[in-house]
Amino acid sequence: MSAVSDVIRTRVDAGSGALVGYLPVGFPSFEESIDAAVAIAQNGVDVIELGLPYSDPVMDGPVIQAATQQALARGFRLSQGFEAVRRITDQVSVPVLLMTYWNPVLSYGVERFADDLVSAGGAGLITPDLIPDEAEEWLAASERTGLDRVFLAAPSSSDARLARAVEVSRGFVYAVSTMGITGARTDVDSAARSLVSRLRDAGVENTCVGLGISSAQQVREVLDYADGAIVGSALVTALSSGGVDAVARVAADLATGTSRAGEVRRDEGIRST
């Protein structure tokens, strides 16, 4: 079992579920992005999804696009992604997955990328634009290194496509709650519940729902049927408007959605109040 799977299973077995928090590297500055990632881990986030800024995203909504464009404008370089993973995992035990589009991995070299991520202490990759049918190089590299590989499943995916995503994913399958891009929504689409049910039928072990989740109530609703809830834009907005202290407060509030009444979560586990 991978570190990510282990964390998710621990949370599910405890009667709650996992909170996955997304933040981009290099926003609002490189140093602050590291401090922010550490802060959300210390305030209830179970798995960090660390986004590599990319000039041509296909999944990111306006909040995340603006943040990553700012990081790129300030000179972000891919090597800083590995440095960030190293510095975050030196400070907290929460596993860190890099979220990256596939072109940067290809340009860097798939084997080299995998080796450098392992050396930095990373847990694996989330690859939104890479489908399992075209992932032979990454499947081989992740098998060799033991890195997790998180593929996406969408409401429009065929049953055969879902079965393939379940077969090759490790860590969890990323269930896209709705068709579209990231960004906070007032309601998480009901399509997510149906998608998770179909993934269960396909034999998925862990599946986490993302896109549009921005409140503790929505986290709680998602964890009623999924193993994890993924939050991105709400955290980026807090970081943008109020800095590290603000994103820590939002993470702590979101984490209340994963806990049963009367419990408060922190980095090193669950403690009762």
Annotated catalytic residue: which of 13, 31, 32, 49?
49
In a domain, residue 159? The reply is yes
250 within a domain of the structure (yes/no): yes
The pTM is what?
A: 0.89
**Lowest-confidence pick of 69-83, 112-126, 170-184, 239-253:** 170-184
Based on the residue annotation, tell me whether 90 is a catalytic residue of this protein: no
Q: Sheet of 96-99: strands edge to edge?
A: 148-150, 124-126, 96-99, 47-51, 18-24, 228-231, 207-210, 173-176, 152-153
* Residue 267 confidence (pLDDT): 45
Q: Is residue 263 part of a domain?
A: no
Tell me the percentage of the chain whose pLDDT exceeds 90. 74
Give the pLDDT mean for 195-223: 93
- Domain membership of residue 88 (yes or no) is yes
Condensed to tens digits (0 to 9), the pLDDT of residues 222-260 reads 999 999 999 999 999 999 999 999 999 999 999 999 975
pLDDT digits (tens, 9 = 90+) for 96-142: 999 999 999 999 999 999 999 999 999 999 999 999 999 999 999 99
Residue 53 lies in a domain: yes
Q: Say if residue 79's pLDDT is above 80.
A: yes
CATH code, domain with 106: 3.20.20.70
CA–CA separation, 134 vs 136, rounded Å? 6
> Which pLDDT belongs to residue 189?
66
CB 86 within 8 A of CB 117: no
Task: List, for residues 6-64, the tens digit of each pLDDT value.
Answer: 999 999 999 889 999 999 999 999 999 999 999 999 999 999 999 999 877 666 777 88
Catalytic residue among 60, 116, 148, 227: 60
Q: What is the pLDDT of residue 229?
A: 96
270 domain-assigned: no
Share of the chain above pLDDT 70, in %: 89
Give a yes or no: residue 114 inside a domain: yes
pLDDT of 184 reads 53
Tally of structural domains, the chain: 1
Q: Is 32 marked active-site? A: no
Q: Is residue 98 part of a domain?
A: yes
Full domain range(s) for residue 40: 3-257
